[in-house]
Amino acid sequence: MLRILGSPKIFCDGITRRDSMLVGGLSLFGLGLADQFRIAQLTANDSAKRDASFGRAKACILLYLYGSPSQLEFADMKPDAPVEVRGELKGIRSTLPGCDVCELLPHTARIMDRVTVVRSLNHPHPIHGVAYATTGIPNIDAPMELSPHDAKHWPFVGSVVAHTLAKHSPKRLMQAIPDNVALPFPFSSRRTGEVQRAGPYAAYLGNAWNPHFTDFHGEITGRITKTLREDKAEFAEPYVGISTSAGFSLGGNRASENADVTLDRLQTRHSLLDQLETARRRQDRNGFDGDRHRQMAWNLLGSPRGREALAIQREAAKTRESYGMTVFGQGALAARRLVEAGSKFVTVFWDEYGFAGSGWDTHWEHYPRMKNELMPGFDRGFSGLIADLDQRGMLDETLVVVLSEHGRTPKINTSNGGGRDHWSQAYSSLIAGGGIARGRVVGKTDRIGGTVTDRPVSPKDMLATMYHLLGIDLETTLTDRTGRPQSIVPGGEVVREMLA
């Protein structure tokens, strides 16, 4: 493309003088009006990259609530709706005017002035589409969602971030803290049954770009009775309570006060490195970079900085308690430590544990589980993270996103204990920090929280906004398994009403 050299002069419509001259001269090369519109769009994209919000976030913490909470018991309460819609829980005032939150969220109510609420998320797939919510894939179905290695999947947002950063700055591959970490344990690995769910994987980028999952170690102190259809049993539940000695490890290296290397741990290291060496020789077709992973393995296993980042036991007791002594709350604390140590993208999953269909998938016993299992742990974990980041001066540069795959039906069903089923026509998200406005509500729903009536937002728009704030150009393309370029998030647009 011909460019006019010289310093750019920006007109009031955002188009530079140089680009105006370029467009004006296109007819010399046989380019018509359609081409001029295309150039104008490219110029608009350049302008978007230049705005003050682009790249505002140094890191992102994604809090993913698998199973999906009800929008009506989160931050889109409908006190005037019929009882079969509004249910038995009441709202309480929050520090965000005009945005009451559920009575089960007293700590969250105090930090809502630092949060933007998006009430108008919607899409056409009312299934557990973790892969749909967290990747650029245009469509999803249930068989794909239960097949993590389906070749049609697209890469997870954290994988795209890490891949893009490494492409522009290869030195990041050698840092002690990975750029794509997920807690508390490998996704969908602690549920009953052999089938695992899709979602947080690198897909056609290759296995080398999968998240670095931690593992959870320690005593589970919480117990809860769970019901799935007619089955009922008591379970140890880490999302209800864990011991103060519990923690997380990465790369086979348990974070603890005692960093001594035992013979068993050395054997574990050699075993891991042998596996990596075998994978390097094989050079699988997904682009596994064995040399990169061999170096990263040494970094993760031997780095005091890596051990320190996950050593949540070194935090003051008051800080740990402010996050809540659950695997979600302590995972959020570990996420703060990881981004503080230099990681770019950290995900904390509220995952299924025990029964398949647990997490936030409240088809049965909706209110008992909201009261005894779900809301208290989220309330402490989310509010603790926002308050802690803000107190440390990190919130304005750390993007925090609460996301799920859909919402729940406005009308309560008649199952055991009452329940809400899948609903993707309207649901909510909470987002804060890293270039997001403080104290704002985006979008509206109707009187029963079932349909978006103002400013619809798609999951792809949420991803586009995250990429934009992290400084990743939305024109970035990736190469799929067939060698074709694919947009990182086709159709996604930055939700500018959310930006500071």
In the chain, what percentage of residues exceed pLDDT 70? 78
Does 306 or 46 have the greater pLDDT score? 306
Please tell me the predicted confidence (pLDDT) of residue 113: 98
Residue 305 has a CB neighbour count (10 Å cut-off) of 12
How does 435-468 read in b/e, with b if 16+ C-beta sit within 10 Å?
A: bbbbbbbbbbbeebbbebeeebbbbbbbbbbbbb
pLDDT in tens, 422-445: 999 999 999 999 999 999 999 999
**3-state SS class at 485:** strand
Lowest average pLDDT, out of 161-170, 171-180, 187-196, 225-234, goes to 225-234
Q: Record the tokens describing residue 304, joined without a space.
A: 């005091």
Close Cβ partners of 236 (under 8 Å, ≥ 6 residues apart): 220, 222, 223, 354
Q: Give yes or no for residue 418 having a pLDDT over 50.
A: yes
Average pLDDT over residues 314-331: 98
Q: Which residues contact 13 (CB under 8 A, 6 or more apart)?
A: none
The span from the CA of 161 to the CA of 472, in Å, is 8
Spatial separation of the C-alpha atoms in residues 426 and 290, rounded to whole Å: 44
Separation between Cα atoms, residue 100 and residue 90, nearest integer Å:
9
Is the pLDDT at 33 greater than 80, yes or no?
no
Its sign, for the CA torsion 222, 358, 122, 413, is negative
Q: Are 92 and 106 in contact (CB under 8 A)?
A: yes
Q: Are 173 and 302 in contact (CB under 8 A)?
A: no
Cα 487 to the center of its chain, rounded Å: 19
Q: Which of 10-14, 122-126, 267-271, 276-280 has the lowest mean pLDDT?
A: 10-14
Token pair for residue 3?
A: 């460019």
Q: Give the chain's domains with CATH numbers.
A: 1-50 (no CATH), 55-242+315-498 (3.40.720.10)
Q: What angle do the packed helices 263-282 and 290-302 form, to 10 degrees?
A: 170
pLDDT digits (tens, 9 = 90+) for 235-285: 889 999 999 999 999 764 333 333 333 333 334 434 444 444 444 443 343
| pLDDT value of residue 417 | 80
* Residue 296 confidence class, pLDDT cut points 50, 70, 90: low
